[in-house]
Amino acid sequence: MIDNRDLGFDKSDLNSISKLCDRRFGIGADGVILIESHDQFDFEMIYFNPDGSQSLCGNGSRCAVMFAKALGIIQNETEFLAIDGSHRAFIEEGEVHLLMNDVTSFEKIGDDYLINTGSPHYIKYVSALESLNVIAEGKAIRYSERFKKEGVNVNFIQKESTNGLAIRTYERGVEGETLSCGTGCTAAALSFGLLGAVSPIELKAQGGNLKVSFDQHESKFTNIYLIGPAQKVFEGKIVL
């Protein structure tokens, strides 16, 4: 995460973004987030995947909110701009509650779902999540004829309880498995709602637990909140 309110970081330099994400020659990350000033919102969040492509990052948005508070830009409530439009969020008891955009449509592909929660997500329910080869199975869907041009994030879901899911995600742009994906968790929770589950939905990912709450009217979802903690790990400087 970079405080780029002075525009000191050149976001057109995609090589620097790739270098920052490199775990051997950079810092190591699944993406780069810039916080910039905006005249109509508290701040603008700009997210880059390691390959330089942009998208909405749900977990990154929660981290951006906590980072903005640490920078003194906001207190406990905010409205900020992301690639898919404006988002509201608030911090309560150490957790960031991020309001996602409404979802009013989805596509059913056999037993699977395609849901856009700011980024496109393919949802596939499985019965042996822990032993699943997520990279191989995810890559097969992501690079299939349907999705190979624009790409798609692939989420493998296993039902844990009446309102609980376990999730593993193959992310486009990263082109590998990530430990947690906020927009993926949101899409998974909504798919569970389509199957009759009642909000809130608890999701267990390798990187930690998240919660998604929503209002549902048939197949339309509003007041969607992605809820979870955001913790600072370290800060430092790097020469690019």
Residues marked as catalytic: 57, 181
d(CA 44, CA 144): 34
Asked whether 212 and 186 are in contact (CB, 8 A), the reply is yes
Residues counted in the chain: 240
Give me the sign of the Cα torsion angle 42, 12, 7, 19: positive
The per-residue DSSP string of 189-223 comes to: HHHHHHTT--S-EEEEETTEEEEEEEEEETTEEEE
Nearest to 9 by CA among 31, 27, 36: 36
Give the count of beta carbons closer than 10 Å to the beta carbon of residue 232: 10
* DSSP label of 75: S
Residue 139: DSSP 8-state: H
